[in-house]
Amino acid sequence: MTPEQPRHLAEALRRRGWLVSAWPWRALVYLVSTVPVSGVIAVGLLVIIGPLLAALNAVWLHGRPPELPLLVFLAVGSVSLLALAPLVSFPVAVVERWRLGLVDGRPLPRSPWPGLAARYRTAAGWREVAYLFWLGGFVPVAYWVLLLVVLLDLGMITSPWLAGDAEPVVIWRPIETTGEAVPYAVVGVLLLPVLCYAAGLLAALQAAVARWALAWPVDAAALREVARSRTRLVGVYEAERRRIERDLHDGAQPRLTSLTLQLGLARLDVPEDSPAARPLAVAHDQARGLMVMLRQLVHGIRPQSLTDLGLAGAVRELADAATVAVVVRTDVDGELPELVETTAYFVVSEALGNVARHAGATRAEVRLTRTGGDLVVEVSDDGRGGADPARGTGLTGLADRVAAADGRLLLSSPPGGPTLVRVELPCRP
């Protein structure tokens, strides 16, 4: 089986063969393309922060308070910086979301203009501002350190060719001959893979911060619980189950029992060597099998694939039958209660059905994990988003089923996507 390709740089760094893959080059492009963006932001910040640091240094070293014009400049500059930062951070965030695709294949939501007021009063807007300051403050310092280390390593590698010049080469100490420079060159060559990993780690750190700051729709604040009344829904569920049980028990089951009895009597009257004996036996066996199926329906619908393959296998079967590419990730050990398995199966089935019908997605992902005493089911897609329980019965019906299992359903689906459906089901025996 071909191993699944990593979707982001941090995952790729943990794989063997990272150095001979395309990921180091993607990390390099990401780092290099950061330089103009971060440089422009850093220059803008230095216009205000530079004089402020100079004034603080004067107070610290000489105990001399800054002059009034400088105080006015700093006050006006600081207020202007805070006022303009939410506006400037928006186009920067758009560019950064696009650049993040160089090292992270996981989809990020598109970022339509939320309105002027929303830029100042939402946590998402101020997280983008924090990322703006991080990009113009910490990133240039980290890049300068990495650049100095790279230049030092290049100096060590080229020292044998430079040692014969009139001036000695200075690495850790003056080097005057080629023989003295060779060990430094060998160490420099051996350090090249280490520098590649260091650059990859820096790019992965920057990408992780960018994803945290810019993936604002998919966070705890955006996950809203689908409204439902547990008492009402459980009561409706039980009433509907009893109605189906009564209809099957009083209507279909007696007729099927009578049909099975008549077929059994007919088998007794037909000789075994008769051409009709075998078809009649097959019909009799099918009728008895149908009676067993009806009894299962009376006590609750359970797909046969769950019984044969278990939850993970049944979900993979759903993924194979989906009209979009679906990746299934499971980390479920041990047995699960039957109600939990059945509920989780129908959650995935309904969610993938919604992806195919409404999302306009190209790929989806299903994750099954055990967290504490709960089974957590997550279905995400890279579609257009905008799912709203108020506009249809699909999500509310799904919430009804989850509530009947004493679980809860949470939804994140901002306009532009992505959509995340998360279901938490308690696994009490």
Q: Tell me: the pLDDT tens digits for 107-139?
A: 666 666 767 777 777 777 788 888 888 888 888
Question: Does residue 109 contact residue 414 with C-beta atoms inside 8 Å?
Answer: yes
Q: What average pLDDT does the segment 205-211 reach?
A: 89
280 vs 55, higher pLDDT? 280
pLDDT at 32: 92
More confident site: 240 or 151: 151
Is the pLDDT at 20 greater than 50, yes or no? Answer: yes
Q: Which residue has the higher pLDDT, 298 or 123?
A: 123
**Mean pLDDT in residue range 251-264:** 75
pLDDT given for residue 219 in this prediction = 43
Please tell me the distance from the alpha carbon of residue 22 to that of residue 229, in angstroms, as a whole number.
52
Task: Give the model's confidence band at 263: pLDDT under 50 very low, under 70 low, under 90 confident, else very high.
Answer: confident
Poorest-pLDDT segment among 54-63, 75-84, 150-159, 294-303: 294-303
Q: Write down the pLDDT at residue 29.
A: 92
Provide the b/e sequence for 401-415 (b: ≥16 CB within 10 Å). Answer: bbbbbebbbbbbbbe
**Average pLDDT for 337-365:** 84
Residue 65: pLDDT over 70:
no
At 205, is the pLDDT very low, low, confident or very high (cuts 50, 70, 90)? very high
| Distance in angstroms (rounded) separating the CA atoms of residues 87 and 90 | 6
The three-point CA angle 117-121-122 to 5° equals: 110
Q: Is 80 exceeded by the pLDDT of residue 78?
A: no
- Provide the pLDDT for residue 187: 83
Integer Cα distance of 207 and 10 in angstroms: 9
Name, of 138-152, 171-185, 248-262, 308-322, the range with top average pLDDT.
Answer: 138-152
User: What would the mean pLDDT of 179-198 be, rounded to a whole number?
Assistant: 84
Confidence (pLDDT) at 227 = 47
| E strand map for 89-231 | 169-170, 174-175, 224-225
**pLDDT higher than threshold 60 for residue 229:** no
Q: What is the mean pLDDT of residues 349-353?
A: 86
**Looking at per-residue confidence, does 84 or 72 come out higher?**
84
Between residues 301 and 408, the one the model is more confident about: 408
Distance of alpha carbon 177 from alpha carbon 159, whole angstroms = 9
Instruction: Report d(CA 122, CA 120) in Å as an integer.
Output: 6
Class (C level, CATH) for 304-426: alpha beta
* Edge-to-edge order in the sheet of strand 374-381: 224-225, 408-412, 419-426, 374-381, 363-371, 325-331
Structure confidence at residue 39 as a pLDDT band (50, 70, 90): confident
d(CA 177, CA 289): 92
Mean of pLDDT values over 42-49: 75
